[in-house]
Amino acid sequence: MKKYDRRGNPVFYGAQGAIDGLDRAADMLAAYKADTLGAIDAVIADHPDFALAHAVRAGALATATDKAFEDEALKSLTAAEALAAKTNEREGLHIAACRAWLDGDLAKGVELWGKASMLYPRDLTALQFAHAGDFFLGYAHMLRDRVARVLPQWDRSVPGYGFVHGMYAFGLEESGDYAAAEEHGRQAVEINAEDGWAVHAVAHVLEMQGRTKEGVTYLANSAAGWEPGSGFAYHLWWHKALFHLDTNDAKAALKLFDEKVSAGGFGQALELIDGSALLWRLQLLGHDVGKRWDDLVEKWESRVDHGYYVFNDVNAMMAFAATSNVAAQNKLIASVRKAANGKGTNAMMSREVGLPACEGFAAFGRGEYAKAVDLLLPVRGKANRYGGSHAQRDMFSWTLTEAAIRAGDRALADAFVAERLASKPESPVNRAWAQRTEKLTRKQAA
């Protein structure tokens, strides 16, 4: 007898209890709950022959983009592949997508999850994995369009409806449609206050529009819904820290780093990225961050020789450059150069963006500001090719602006400041850069 999950997707495995358990785990995954893997593991413990459960576990670990999780992801994928005879078309696509991703062809993996979501438009997990992959690949319009493809097949009667709107909201934001993004994001949060990704989409809108005070208030007021049991809270607190930083409240940003962003002990690469990105911005603005880099550097050093995902490598370089850790810088650059000469998606990312970016941040750390500009400026316009969001890639603009000022290049500094003021004219950070540039101009003209 054919079985179905609670969203109407066909499931080959015959135990309804196992299917229901995986459905609950899928909801937790969509809400970025910290104990999602535990929920999947509980299903597998009772139903070791449930191929889809193994494939979903593999996908969750693979899309964390952390080399430290690769062995576990491969273990789950191997178990799923061994059970391939006991799967249907949808489940086979999940397995094939994981295999492509873990073999280094991230784009193929995303397209296979995307195909599953088109053939089975209420497959929430396939949609989420494809959406995550679009993010890691920097496919801004696909973050929107891949969700738009399936949205007509969802309504409020389908469990998880709000999560789909949250994903759509983020895709709209990354595509520049801020009004629609905010509308869909707030709608998703109204449906489910625990939807951290939808809250995240709204936070990005407020960030991109320079609505910093609103951003602080919004994240503070919504935290009771998304923070408890969340594996994503550190990133939303990072966004709140950015809002504080943009109002020149470095003390509040550092407090959030200490109490929230670093609360998980930087156990995964995604947390390390936020830690590096926040401390780098603080240090660029001249704030003393004390010994806060120490734990980040230690954790990054265990990951720099893998050539796994270059977005991580660039954020690691910020930690090494900020602390003048030359040995780690050299090791990392050698790893990225090796990756750039290899095959797969990460090789392209490393060649196009990662290697010059790492070298550029290293040059900035050495005080070679003109060289940093020469290395970073050509890659900034194509930085989307190595993934991340507009807000995350803004570190290029921050660094270029500061480097131009420190290099005494008034033409470039004026250009970078004008660009920043055009998008965020009320930003105290941008205005401070403008004042420094004006002083530089007057000084050179004297």
Is the Cβ–Cβ distance between 116 and 108 less than 8 Å?
no
**318-339 CB burial, b ≥16 within 10 A, e <16:** bbbbbbebeebbeebbebbbeb
Same domain, 276 and 393: yes
Q: HSE of 194 in the Cβ direction (CA atoms, 13 Å)?
A: 13
Residue 234 shares a structural domain with residue 158: yes
CATH of the domain at 128: 1.25.40
Note whether 14 and 144 are same-domain residues: no
Q: Among the three residues 121, 136, 151, which one is the final residue of a domain in this structure?
A: 136
Which amino acid is it at 313? D
Contact 355, 340 (CB under 8 A): yes
**Can you give the CATH number for the domain in which 183 is found?**
1.25.40.10
Last residue of a domain, one of 74, 104, 136: 136
Same domain, 169 and 111: no
Within a domain: 249:
no
Are 221 and 299 found together in one domain?
no
Q: Domain check: are 295 and 208 in the same one?
A: no
Domain end residue (candidates: 136, 152, 174): 136
Helix (H) / strand (E) element for 164: namely helix 161-174
Please state the domain count of the chain: 3
Residues of the chain with pLDDT under 50: 445-446
Residue 234 lies in a domain: yes
Q: Are residues 269 and 402 in the same domain?
A: yes
Under DSSP, is residue 33 helix (H, G, I), strand (E, B) or coil?
A: strand
Q: What is each CA distance from 79 to 57, 62, 71, 83, 88, in whole angstroms?
A: 10, 15, 12, 7, 16
Is residue 414 a part of any domain in this protein? no
Query: The domain containing residue 159 runs over which residues?
Result: 139-243
Asked if residue 260 is part of any domain, the answer here is no
| Cα–Cα dist 237/239, whole Å | 5
Given a contact cutoff of 8 angstroms between Cβ atoms, the answer to whether 59 and 94 are in contact is yes
Q: Find, among 335, 370, 369, the residue nearest to 354 by Cα.
A: 335
Give a yes or no: residue 73 inside a domain: yes
Question: Are 283 and 181 in the same domain?
Answer: no
Picking from 254, 242, 181, 179, the residue whose alpha carbon sits closest to that of residue 213 is: 242
pTM of structure: 0.96
HSE-CB for 115 with a 13 A CA cutoff = 14
Same domain, 41 and 95: yes
Q: Are 240 and 391 in contact (CB under 8 A)?
A: no
Asked if residue 319 and residue 276 are part of one domain, the reply reads yes
> Is 415 inside any structural domain?
no
Per-residue model confidence (pLDDT) at position 306: 82
Same domain, 128 and 143: no
Domain membership of residue 119 (yes or no) is yes
Question: What contacts 290, CB < 8 A, 6 or more positions away?
Answer: none
Q: 161 with 154: CB under 8 angstroms? A: yes
Cα distance between residue 401 and residue 193, in whole Å: 38
Identify whether 183 is part of a domain. yes
Residue 143 and residue 44 share a domain: no
